[in-house]
Amino acid sequence: MRFEDPAADFVPAVERVFGAQPRVLDGSRAVLLGDVKLQLEAGERELWLIETHGALEHRLGMVRVREDIEDALREAKGRLDV
């Protein structure tokens, strides 16, 4: 039997894809990069992009996490770069 946990590689994958060290939030299931929070939800199957302004948050969108967390992060980075 084999178990996979996309969250286990989440923080290092964020560093590799975005080229910056994120601030880790919520037990490594969420990170902050500047004013954008990346948060894993729904059993690590959804990656939410959340714009933060102090205590206020605005959800920008969601990327499905299929097999590789880095694929989802690359898609998220593409959406944020637009």
Write the pLDDT tens digit of every residue in 55-74: 899 999 999 998 889 999 99
CB of 6 within 8 A of CB of 69? yes
Is it the case that residue 5 has pLDDT exceeding 60? no
Is it the case that residue 7 has pLDDT exceeding 70? no
Write the pLDDT tens digit of every residue in 10-47: 899 999 999 999 999 877 789 999 999 999 988 788 99
Nearest to residue 59, comparing CAs of 78, 82, 41?
A: 41
